[in-house]
Chains A and B, each alone.
Chain A
Amino acid sequence: MNVDVGFVLGEAFSLVNLVLAISGVVLGTVIGALPGLSATMAIAILVPFTFTMDPASALIMLGAIYTGAIYGGALSAILVNTPGTPSAIATTFDGYPMAKRGDGDLAVTLAVLASVTGGLIGAIILLTLAPVLARPALAFHSTEYFWLAMLGLTLIASLSTGNLLKGLIGGCFGLTLSMIGVAVIGGDMRFTFGSQTLLGGIDIVAALIGLYCIPVLIDMVARPGQHLRPPESNRGFRLAEALRACLRNGFNLVRSSIIGTLVGILPGAGGSIASLVAYSEARRSSRHPERFGKGEPGGVLATESANNATVGGGFIPTLVLGIPGTPPDAVILGALLVQGIRVGPELFTQHGGIVYVFMVGLVIATVLMLPTGLFIGRYAYRFIVDTPKAMLVPLVAFMTVLGSFAIHANPNDVLVMVVMGVMGWLLSLGGYSVSPIVLGLILGQIAEQGFMRAYMIGTARGDFLGQLIVNRPISWAIVALIAVTLFVPVIRQYLVGRRTVPGGAE
């Protein structure tokens, strides 16, 4: 590592880069908090400005926006039950219940602390272990992606412990929705009913906004009283309380961050999958799993640290192999290419200075997210709590329309959003939760493509089962995890049952 540490630190802490880092984080947080506006979009719009910048500064700004946006998604997830970005889906599970019972400010502070922790761990792993971790990620083939998607889908079953059947139906509905459009493998059109609107399938973000936000809006209108219970007194940031929660969940935080980093390394697996896996693990290993889903701080800590860790993790294959880990990484790669920087095996050797300045800058930006995140989060919280419903409902409704249009400047997405929203509300009346549908939608594509490619390759080699499971040691690990996730709660319940019935009612 022939890099001049003094030079790197001097550059990373230069005024220009610090200003870029902090403004990037603020801008990213605001964009991430608005459903429909994504980090990818923000980065794509700002890329032309980076052509005139020094490459390291450009990277720092784009990376700061990215990490700010992943945190920002939690704000709307907690306050309006609508993930601002898909990576915040799992934050709604415990974040919104916390907000409803008056702990919204605590949830926001927890989200900041978790995001900073996860981001730091991801960035530090990037800084120290990037070349080591990049190559093994290549061992993840379509088969492993299929099993990962299956792992994600088992979460549907374990999430819906109260109503397993309805959860599974919801998940299968989501899977069906994911089939709409042109199939990647085979090219046939499915379920488009001849309509132009459905040609590209159901856009995930539009469905997300509709399914999560519309029922909340309808609920706000239908039910009298405050949207969120206001805090008993002006308790400030509740920082001490949040820090105590972090210490209690220390192992959870670190484990979730590492899960997030590792999942981020896998190209195509982003914050949504990372936070789901981390949440599942946190719940499975908690002493009180029944508290999850009802406003358990550990849930928020797990999901937010995992999704911010994917930022650092995603840069590992991006910088080392030239393979984007997540969609924003693809845009950043393009921006670097235009600057004449060939990302890939040569980057560390030829442009080592730029890379290390960027990585240190990312760490700085993540640390700067602590004060900015706390203030923006506080402002958002007070805004949502203090605004009367009469103003809040039209504002949020307008934002949903704006947000879903902003995804691709395509009015069809607004239509999809509304239809999915009404559907989500009707389903919630029937006792169906919305999350399984969204999970099915996201994971359906990954599961189908993974399986189909494994099938095609296995058939070509004359050994389908080998390709699917027998010859794939990494898949064994994932399948084992699926089995544990599914069966440990059942076994635990059985053991508890036996213990509390003395004499054993066999």
Chain B
Amino acid sequence: MKKKSLACLIAGAAVAIMAAGAASAFPDRAITYVIPFNPGGESDISARFQQPHMQELTGQDVVVQYQPGAGGAQAWSVLNDQPGDGHYIMGTNLPHIVMQPMLQDPGYETDDLTNVYMFHFTPDALIVGADSEFQSVQDVIDAAKADPGALTGGGSGTNSANHIANQLFANETGAQITYIPYTGTGATIPALLGGEVDMLWGYSTIAATQGDAVRMLAIAQEERHPLFPDVPTFKELGIDMVGGAYRGIAVPKSTPEDVRQQLSDLIGEINANPDFIKQMEEAGFAMLDVPYEEMDAFMAERKETYRAIAEQLESAN
């Protein structure tokens, strides 16, 4: 009898301790930051820029882990299986998390992912090699109209931001360029530099890292990027293209509201840090601030935009 009650007491204490542990405040231990892509890509680099600031603000270690596969779907489909106490966060990418459930069966729905912040985007950019014959977007349009489908434009992945950019461009200007998908942005650069494709649908980050080896013909932003004052925006040229790949951070659905708000504030604070902004912009990223409270409206608007394009891509595929 005595042994039993002692055992019960210990068990009860253990449960109480564990429950107390689970209810402890965030952040109180290392944070796991999962990137659903291979290391070295844009998601990785922006996470690396955030890492020291995050560690400083939370006082905890931030461990970056990689879980690539199926264009990100492998990680996103298991996000909600993870513990939701704020110590597990995952990078998310638009248009991927909208397009994938729309066009395929990736194992998750867009609404399954709880985004707490969208903190930057890489604007779409039309990039050619430095020795290319194309000096402006108009040259490209003229060449494409002269021989529809003969020009090749490389990009990262199928149904990705680059693929959408190519389709949007065709819609707006009537210029048909054949889209050639590669695995990841890194693989597109040698293709452009080596002359395998005539141009790239990429991001401003490529122009930032490649410098003089490439020429960026236009960028899909509202205003010119501070790092590239000589590059016109598509808008200036009369083409309504503003956007690119957006990146944010999501948490498992089980994460409580106040922790979500805490994370949103944390990332917002990092996003306002002038050193961080400088690092990001010098690498070619464009800043963006969509905190938790504005997330629903933002996602709804994005879904609408992508829905129209998705139909076009599906029929083109």
Contacts and interface: CB of A to CB of B under 8 A. Distances in A.
A323 B190 CA distance: 7
Contacts of A333: 40
B136 interface: no
A2 interface: no
B48 interface: yes
A487 interface: no
A330 B38 contact: yes
Main secondary structure of the interface of A (DSSP, over half): loop
A187 interface: yes
Q: Which of A346, A460, A462 has the most CB of B within 10 A?
A: A460
B209 A322 contact: yes
Contact of A184 (B39, B157, B196): B157
Nearest to A454: B196
B278 to A, nearest CB: 10
Interface in B182-204: 182-183, 186-187, 189-191, 193-197
B66 interface: yes
A47 B67 CA distance: 17
B115 to A, nearest CB: 21
A86 interface: no
Contact of A345 (B158, B211, B282): B211
B189 A322 contact: yes
A426 interface: no
B150 interface: yes
B158 A184 contact: yes
A491 B193 CA distance: 41
Nearest to A44: B39
B40 A324 contact: yes
Given A185-B181, A267-B186, A409-B67, A344 B48 contact: no
A329 B49 CA distance: 18
Interface stretch (B69-77, B118-126, B254-262, B266-274): B69-77
A208 B58 CA distance: 40
A317 B189 CA distance: 11
B159 interface: yes
Given A199-B74, A200-B70, A457-B197, A323 B189 contact: yes
Contacts, number: 160
Most chain A Cβ neighbours within 10 Å, of B38, B151, B181, B213: B181
B39 A334 contact: yes
Interface string B86-110: 0000000000000000011111000
B52 interface: yes
Contact of B38 (A186, A201, A322, A327): A327
Interface in A382-399: none
Interface of B: 38-41, 44-45, 48-49, 51-52, 64-71, 73-74, 77-78, 103-107, 149-152, 157-159, 178, 180-183, 186-187, 189-191, 193-197, 208-213, 279, 282-283, 317
16 contacts: A44-B64, A182-B106, A199-B69, A200-B69, A200-B73, A200-B74, A201-B69, A323-B193, A329-B40, A338-B45, A345-B212, A346-B211, A408-B68, A410-B78, A457-B178, A460-B149
Given A51-B52, A182-B70, A182-B106, 4 more contacts: A186-B317, A324-B186, A338-B45, A346-B211
Interchain residue pairs A-B with the least CB separation, the first 3: A200-B69, A330-B40, A138-B194
